[in-house]
Chain A
């Protein structure tokens, strides 16, 4: 009897383990959207508790907590549980995916714009399309590129939390030392290349410009504005289209600087070129407003200009982040989260959030606020970045699978810039690898 029991145990254990696994594999499914408005019949007076994942570091997290407390004072029936949600913003997606499986996810979460496609496909987001199109929301005050990123599969799933863009930041001292004039908004990529070549000096380890070759999204998204300027597209429907002549021409420009001129510092990590620029070893970098804080701390004399252009087209790329709103089948929670985010992103409150922590203002109407005047004073490049928002005319795709395609394109760019491939073959290969990535 004992022996047969003993033999039975492992089998039973295995069987119950398998059973539980089968049960959980059911959790790998998403939820189907029922097409109903998540906040239909919402009672603004109801007592609710909503969870807000800010995705911010400690310093900014405190600002968020103050704002939540401020909102609670004005609306005592709404309690907001604020936390950063994850140790870093990058980890939020993993936390969200674990939360979906475990059934405990927040009402509002910070999200990178390139997650929008995947989050939208989860079926757990609210559809805010009609909510934001209400005139009182003033949706069109938010830059178009950011609005596009918040929209996936025709539905608005969140409200932009942060807007930015790429521009040309240059070190004035290095230009003065070389006796060259500063970059202008009218520069072509040929001007940029010629200047980078002149500013490069192997003896002092100074490079004209820098580019990340880590193969990450940082590598990839710097190419997109150049592709658009040449009239190219990232996707044609769900098929990769970046390997067109436009894409090849864009990448060829970069290749000439990296391989032929050797005027480009190639950063294997994403993390070195910023500090190198701040220490005066890189004369020009293509970066966004998030760099301004560290440049200021390095006490560098810098200027900002529009991206160099092709045929007079100087469009740039924007990497907006979002407040994504989730549905918990509770109209009051859904409604309260909407109203809170509307308040947070309003022209009255946003200066206390984005401008206070050194980001660009979310809405065009904020340009006359005293907070914006302070921001410009503190970050002299801020005005240029704000104006440059108008040059962000297209958005990165918000389809599931973009991450995978981005990795393939990043690898292709890295290969070309390190002289291991020609633009055409590398981009063709990336397109072939990504053929089935998008949309499924």
Chain B
């Protein structure tokens, strides 16, 4: 009784008695929507609506111009048997399997090195971060100059060392690994900065206590530092997995998926399907498959993180 008494007057007395509760609710609703409206329109119009529409497109055979034919789940059925799709998935998998652990390990190592008190530390930190600031497109164009088999700097160095020349990005067995390398070069600045911040967040007392207890530097790193970095690592792993799986600009500016489609990732294949050969329906289906896989992977990592007791998301 007391509760009702306390609440009702507060919510009604603020309004002139003439207006019924309905008008008041309407006004409050309108005020709320006036704040939320513009953002909602943008989110619904530019994210949710295209995503829903893409789902309808993914169940059609459509080139964007002639009438579409609804084909049900046929696009999805064809996709799982499409050798090009399977190859693209393998390339993406290789890329992710090398890039994600690579950028984490390199990030930790460089962050630890940059966490020392040495001269010119600001300069070194800047050097590591600069490639990340450069766009992947610029990185790709730069890589083209370095790895051009005829006129590039990399082959010049090999020649001076007396080593055999390489085709680099034009070699179908080597290209995907070189892409990994270029990507690592560009992205390692990001993981380094994250880990650097995380390292500086580790309470000094913990390290000092371990040292007082007689732990060696390695054991301090292994049993104090690394566990403290776990939440950040889960975040970085999810983030870098998404980066690797959505890689497009670097491939577009270096190999365009070649040679012989050996660097064609899933996203690049989707681009080719939808915007080069105008198979919008099939491309949309491939995009939806990628979305589901990314979602499942991310959920998996988050659940794993929660079970280990560190909530980062």
Q: Which of B151-180 contact A (CB under 8 A)?
A: 169-170, 172
Docked CA distance A34–B47 (Å): 37
Is A100 in the interface zone, CB < 8 Å from B? Answer: yes
Interface string of B37-68 (1 = CB under 8 A from A): 00000001000110011011100111111111
Is B231 in the interface zone, CB < 8 Å from A? Answer: no
Docked CA distance A96–B65 (Å): 8
User: What are the residues of chain A within 8 A of B150 when measuring CB–CB?
Assistant: 205, 281
Contact between chains at B256 and A28 (CB < 8 Å): no
Contact between chains at A122 and B275 (CB < 8 Å): no
Contact between chains at B258 and A121 (CB < 8 Å): no
Contact between chains at B278 and A268 (CB < 8 Å): no
Is A440 in the interface zone, CB < 8 Å from B? Answer: yes
Is B211 in the interface zone, CB < 8 Å from A? Answer: no
Is B241 in the interface zone, CB < 8 Å from A? Answer: no
Q: Which of A8-27 contact B (CB under 8 A)?
A: 13, 17-18, 20-22, 24-25
User: What are the residues of chain A within 8 A of B278 when measuring CB–CB?
Assistant: 93, 97, 118, 403-404
Contact between chains at A414 and B260 (CB < 8 Å): yes
Docked CA distance A126–B67 (Å): 17
Contact between chains at B53 and A25 (CB < 8 Å): yes
Chain B nearest CB from A263 CB (Å) reads 15
For chain A, the count of residues having a C-beta within 8 Å of the partner chain is: 42
Given contacts A118-B66, A418-B172, contact A28 B258 (CB under 8 A): no
Chain B nearest CB from A27 CB (Å) reads 9
Partner of A407, one of B56, B68, B172, B272: B272
Contact between chains at B68 and A28 (CB < 8 Å): yes
Interface string of A198-216 (1 = CB under 8 A from B): 0000000100000001111
Is B259 in the interface zone, CB < 8 Å from A? Answer: yes
Chain A nearest CB from B52 CB (Å) reads 4
User: What are the residues of chain A within 8 A of B64 when measuring CB–CB?
Assistant: 93-94, 97-98, 100-101
Chain A nearest CB from B258 CB (Å) reads 5
Given contacts A30-B65, A100-B65, A407-B272, contact A25 B56 (CB under 8 A): yes
Q: Which of B58-110 contact A (CB under 8 A)?
A: 60-69
Chain A nearest CB from B44 CB (Å) reads 6
Given contacts A30-B65, A121-B65, A400-B63, contact A94 B275 (CB under 8 A): yes
Partner of B65, one of A118, A411, A418: A118
Docked CA distance A400–B279 (Å): 11
Contact between chains at A268 and B276 (CB < 8 Å): no
Chain B nearest CB from A3 CB (Å) reads 14
Is B4 in the interface zone, CB < 8 Å from A? Answer: no
Is B277 in the interface zone, CB < 8 Å from A? Answer: yes
User: What are the residues of chain B within 8 A of A101 when measuring CB–CB?
Assistant: 64
Partner of B63, one of A118, A123, A216: A118
Contact between chains at B260 and A407 (CB < 8 Å): no
Q: Which of B167-218 contact A (CB under 8 A)?
A: 169-170, 172
Chain A: which residue is nearest B21 at the CB level? A1
Contact between chains at A400 and B272 (CB < 8 Å): no
Contact between chains at B259 and A213 (CB < 8 Å): yes
Contact between chains at A18 and B52 (CB < 8 Å): yes
Docked CA distance A304–B56 (Å): 52
Chain B: which residue is nearest A269 at the CB level? B256
Chain B: which residue is nearest A120 at the CB level? B66
User: What are the residues of chain A within 8 A of B260 when measuring CB–CB?
Assistant: 411, 414-415, 418, 420
Chain A: which residue is nearest B69 at the CB level? A440
Chain B: which residue is nearest A429 at the CB level? B83
User: What are the residues of chain A within 8 A of B275 when measuring CB–CB?
Assistant: 94
Is B261 in the interface zone, CB < 8 Å from A? Answer: yes
Given contacts A17-B48, A21-B53, A268-B255, contact A122 B65 (CB under 8 A): yes
Q: Which of B213-262 contact A (CB under 8 A)?
A: 255-256, 258-261
User: What are the residues of chain B within 8 A of A420 when measuring CB–CB?
Assistant: 172, 260
Chain A nearest CB from B35 CB (Å) reads 15
Chain A: which residue is nearest B279 at the CB level? A404
Partner of A268, one of B44, B49, B53, B256: B256
Chain B nearest CB from A404 CB (Å) reads 5
Chain B nearest CB from A73 CB (Å) reads 35
Chain B: which residue is nearest A30 at the CB level? B67
Contact between chains at A123 and B53 (CB < 8 Å): no
Contact between chains at A97 and B65 (CB < 8 Å): yes
Chain B nearest CB from A78 CB (Å) reads 28
Chain B nearest CB from A159 CB (Å) reads 19
Is A312 in the interface zone, CB < 8 Å from B? Answer: no
Docked CA distance A17–B276 (Å): 29
Partner of B258, one of A18, A213, A400: A213
User: What are the residues of chain B within 8 A of A334 when measuring CB–CB?
Assistant: none
Docked CA distance A214–B275 (Å): 16
Partner of B60, one of A28, A30, A268: A28
User: What are the residues of chain B within 8 A of A20 when measuring CB–CB?
Assistant: 49
Docked CA distance A171–B143 (Å): 30
Docked CA distance A101–B69 (Å): 15
Interface string of A302-331 (1 = CB under 8 A from B): 000000000000000000000000000000
Partner of B259, one of A21, A93, A216, A418: A418
Q: Which of A214-230 contact B (CB under 8 A)?
A: 214-216
User: What are the residues of chain B within 8 A of A98 when measuring CB–CB?
Assistant: 64
Chain B: which residue is nearest A281 at the CB level? B150
Given contacts A17-B48, A118-B278, A205-B150, contact A28 B259 (CB under 8 A): no
Docked CA distance A17–B43 (Å): 12
Contact between chains at B49 and A214 (CB < 8 Å): no
User: What are the residues of chain A within 8 A of B272 when measuring CB–CB?
Assistant: 407
Partner of B53, one of A24, A30, A214, A411: A24
Q: Which of A94-123 contact B (CB under 8 A)?
A: 94, 96-98, 100-101, 118-119, 121-123
Docked CA distance A213–B255 (Å): 11
Contact between chains at B49 and A17 (CB < 8 Å): yes
Contact between chains at B67 and A17 (CB < 8 Å): no
Chain B nearest CB from A391 CB (Å) reads 29
Contact between chains at A30 and B259 (CB < 8 Å): no
Partner of B66, one of A25, A30, A205, A268: A30
Docked CA distance A119–B169 (Å): 37
Is A231 in the interface zone, CB < 8 Å from B? Answer: no
Docked CA distance A61–B68 (Å): 34
Docked CA distance A118–B255 (Å): 28
Chain A: which residue is nearest B150 at the CB level? A205
User: What are the residues of chain B within 8 A of A18 when measuring CB–CB?
Assistant: 52
User: What are the residues of chain B within 8 A of A97 when measuring CB–CB?
Assistant: 63-65, 278
User: Which 3 interchain pairs have the tightest Cβ spacing?
Assistant: A97-B64, A121-B66, A30-B67
10 examples of A-B residue contacts, CB within 8 angstroms: A25-B57, A28-B62, A93-B64, A97-B278, A101-B64, A123-B66, A269-B258, A400-B63, A414-B259, A440-B69
